[in-house]
Structure 1
C-alpha cells in the first residue's frame, strides 16, 4: 500500500500531458501501484479528448508504412503522394517482376535451342505493353481510387507510371538481349516495336478503354508477325530496316496523338475513360 497519493494539480497535469520530469516519472511509478489514484485519473480525463487520442492512435497504427523505394523517392525530392502512387504500381511489385524475368529466361533458352530469335523478338515488345496496361485504369489498377483523389493530373500519373514500367521492362529485356550475342544488332530490333506498341496502346486507351486497347494492339502485332512468317520472301518484316523505320514513325505518331488526347484521362474520374459510343 502507498503512504501518499498524487496531488490533484499533479494528477490533472498528468492527464493533460503537461507534467514535467521528475514529477512525471514519480507519477508513472505511483500510478502502477495505486488503484485509487488510477481511479481519480480516469475521472480527471476528458472523455472527448480521450476519444480523440484513441482515434489518432488508430490512425497512426493503420497508416501504411513507406517502403524502401518510397523513402528513396521522397529523399530525392519526389512529393509524398507521387511517391506513394508510383510505388503502388502493380507491375513494379516483386511477383510481376519475377514473372517477367521467368518469361524472358525461358524465351532465351528456347531461342538457343531452336536457333532463331523470332520468338524473343515477338515476345519482348509485348511485355512493356502489358505492363503499362495494368498500371493505370479502374479495371486493373487496385490503387486507382487513390489516384483519382490525389492532386495529380491523370496524364501526369500515367506518364510517371509508364516511365517506371518501361524502365523496368526495358532493363530486363536489355539483359535478356545480352544473352543473345550471336545475333548482333538484330537482337535489339525489339526496342522500337516495344515503344510503338506501348505508345499506340496508350493513345487508343481513352477511346477503347484501358483493357481493350492494349489487347487489340497486341493482337495486331501478332497478326503482323504471322503474315510476315507466312511470306518467307519478306523475312522478319517488322525487324528489317524498312520495318524498323515504319515502327519508328508509328511510335512518333502515337506519342503525338497521346499528347493531344491527354485531357481525356481526366474526362471521367470514376469510370476512367469516356464511353466508346462517343466515337
Structure 2
C-alpha cells in the first residue's frame, strides 16, 4: 500500500473551532457517473468527523443543498451557524483516488489547513480516515485515545463491493432528496439491488447490510406494508451491527424499527 500526502498548511493565530460543516466534495473527473463516488466520500468524511468528541458536525441533509452552489464561505458559515467549513475535491482515475481537503475559518474565509491524499481505491477508507484525523488534530491539537482508534481502524475494502455500496446510498439519498411522492419501487428498489450486489461480492459487508436496513425502513413509510419490510430492516440492521458495531446507520435503523414497529420505547 502506498499513500501519498502533500501539505499546504500555513501557521497563523489559533482558531477555536467547536462546530464544523463538510461541504459536498467536488467531483474533478467531470464524469457525471462518478457523482456517487464524490458524494460517498463526503458522507464518510462527515461520519468520521462526527466521532470526534466536543465537535458539532452538521448533518448530511443540511450540507447537501450546497452542492453545486457558489456561495461565499462566510455566508455558508452564517447560514449553518458553524465556526469552520471543510471543502475539497475528489479525483478517481481507474484504481487510483486523490482527495484534497481544506479547512477554512467560516467568519474570515481564512484557510487554516490544506492537504492532498492519494492512494489505491482499495485503501480509500484509510485515506478518508487520514483526512479526518488531520482535520481533527488541527482543530483539537491532540486526540483522545478512543478517537484515534476510531480514525485508524479502517480496513482494506473489496472495491467492487464498496462501489456497489456507494451507488446504493446514492440512489437512497436521491429518494430522500426528491421527497416522498415517488413511483413505488423507484430509487429504493435500485438501492436494494446495489446493496444485494455488494453482498454477493462480500457476504460480510456491514455497510451493505446497513444500507439494506435503511432501504427497507424507508419502504415501510409509504411503499410497502410494515409487516413485509420491517422484519427485513431489523434483520439487516442486526447483522450489520454484528459485523461492525461502529455502524451508526445500522444502530439508527434498529432504533427506528424498535420505536415504530416493535413499540419498544425502553
Taking structure 2 as the reference length, the TM-score comes to 0.25
Question: When you count helix as a share of all residues, which structure comes out higher?
Answer: 1
Question: When you count strand as a share of all residues, which structure comes out higher?
Answer: 2
Greater C-alpha Rg: 1
Taking structure 1 as the reference length, the TM-score comes to 0.24
